[in-house]
């Protein structure tokens, strides 16, 4: 086995157990220089404290479960390298997402997020773009222009999962959530936008736009764009909220 360059990283972790006072615990763990923050969290759990709870599943930004705040900023620790967020001195601070009830340590109750996504009714799969490659951050990284793809004879289109991984980071980053706890929120409204794009059925369109136009819909948004800045999947929820506003305004003018 080739030797790995290791770093000793201190983690200051938010701790809370039912009935106890919240506080921070600091642990120092040794991880490879190339480790992601989730690997350091894993080391805390495995080597120091089995009562430490956090959410995780896929470790490659597909499940959306491990979202939290690193030094106050919403991130997915599975794709955030330790060396990219740690200054090499001060402990790396880990906090749970904002705007959700805390269950235990870094685990929050995401039911309010999934209620919003269910209300929007967006399917998690969609038709694919007719070209490859595809990237979350744009293709400039590898300097290859997209090439068209042909379909196999037995398929009418390629399909793929929606870019939104339902990590709830946007709802944590959104300043409007604190002013209206029923606000449909960035992911909820972005899902309404995607569901609306997928249908021309007038009844469905009226229902979706009705939700977006309601008391807790697009007009609540203060246009801070924090959701778009924080989204790890470049979903651009704020852009989708603005697009819904444009459609709603357009329809009002048409009626007159």
Partner 1 sequence: MASDLMLIPHVIIVGAGSTGAATAHDLALRGLRVTVIERGEVASGTTGRNHCLLHAGGRYCVTDRESAIECIDENMILRKIMPDLLELNDGLFVALTEADLAFKERFLEGCAACHIPAHDIPVKRALAMEPFLNPSTLAAVQVPDGVFEPFRFCLAFLATARLHGAVVRRYAEVTDFISSGKNVTGAKLKDRRTGKSETLGADLVVNAAGPWAGEIAAMAGVSVPEVPTAGVMVALDCRLNNMVLNRLNKPSDGDIVVPQRATSVIGTTSWTVKDPDLISIPPEHVERMISQGEQLLPLVRKVPMRAKMAVARPLIARRGEDARKVSRTFECFDHAADGANGFVTIAGGKTTTARAMAERVADIVCDKLGIATACRTRDLPLASYRLFYQ
Residue ranges in 121-150 that form contacts with partner 1 under rule CB under 8 A: 123-125, 128, 132-137, 139, 141-142, 144, 147-150
The nearest distance, CB 252 to partner 1, in angstroms, is 32
User: What 3 state SS string does 208-240 have?
Assistant: HHHHHHCCCCHHHCCCCCHHHHHCCCCCCHHHH
- The terminus-to-terminus CA distance of the chain in angstroms comes to 73
Cβ contact 12:26 at 8 Å: yes
The verdict on 154 binding partner 1 (CB under 8 A) reads yes
List CB contacts of 127: < 8 A, sequence separation 6 or more: 157, 158, 159
The verdict on 194 binding partner 1 (CB under 8 A) reads no
Q: Comparing C-alpha atoms, which of 94, 79, 76 is closest to residue 26?
A: 94
The one segment of 67-75, 85-93, 117-125, 203-211 that binds partner 1 by CB under 8 A: 117-125
Q: Count residues near partner 1 (CB under 8 A).
A: 72
Encoded tokens for 222: 């203060």
The verdict on 50 binding partner 1 (CB under 8 A) reads yes
Whichever of 107 and 205 has its CB closer to partner 1, that residue is: 107
The binding track of 216-255 with respect to partner 1, each residue x by CB under 8 A or -, is -----------------x----------------------
194 HSE (CA, 13 A, CB side): 24
Encoded tokens for 17: 């157990």
Whichever of 139 and 224 has its CB closer to partner 1, that residue is: 139
Whichever of 54 and 183 has its CB closer to partner 1, that residue is: 54
- What is the footprint of partner 1 within residues 62-81 (CB under 8 A)? 62-65, 78-79
């Amino acid at each position: 086995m080739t030797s790995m360059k290791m770093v000793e990283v201190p983690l200051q972790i938010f701790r809370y157990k039912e009935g106890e006072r919240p506080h921070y615990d600091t642990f120092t763990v040794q991880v490879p220089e190339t480790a992601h923050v989730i690997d350091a969290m894993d080391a805390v759990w495995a080597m120091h404290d089995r009562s430490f709870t956090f959410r995780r599943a896929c470790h490659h930004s597909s499940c959306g479960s491990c979202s939290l705040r690193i030094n106050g900023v919403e991130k997915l620790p599975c794709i955030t390298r330790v060396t990219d967020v740690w200054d090499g001195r001060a402990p790396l601070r880990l906090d749970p997402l904002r705007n959700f009830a805390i269950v235990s340590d870094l685990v929050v109750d995401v039911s309010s997020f999934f209620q919003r996504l269910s209300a929007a009714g967006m399917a998690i799969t969609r038709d694919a773009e007719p070209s490859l490659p595809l990237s979350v951050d744009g293709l400039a990284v590898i300097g290859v222009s997209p090439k068209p793809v042909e379909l196999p004879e037995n398929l009418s289109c390629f399909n793929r999962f929606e870019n939104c991984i339902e990590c709830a980071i946007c709802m944590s980053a959104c300043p409007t959530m604190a002013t209206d706890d029923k606000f449909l929120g960035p992911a909820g409204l972005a899902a309404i936008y995607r569901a609306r794009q997928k249908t021309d059925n007038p009844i469905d369109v009226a229902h979706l736009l009705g939700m977006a136009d309601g008391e807790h819909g697009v007009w609540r948004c203060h246009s801070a764009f924090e959701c778009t800045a924080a989204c790890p999947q470049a979903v651009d929820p704020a852009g989708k909220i603005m697009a819904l506003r444009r459609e709603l305004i357009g329809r009002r003018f048409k009626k007159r």
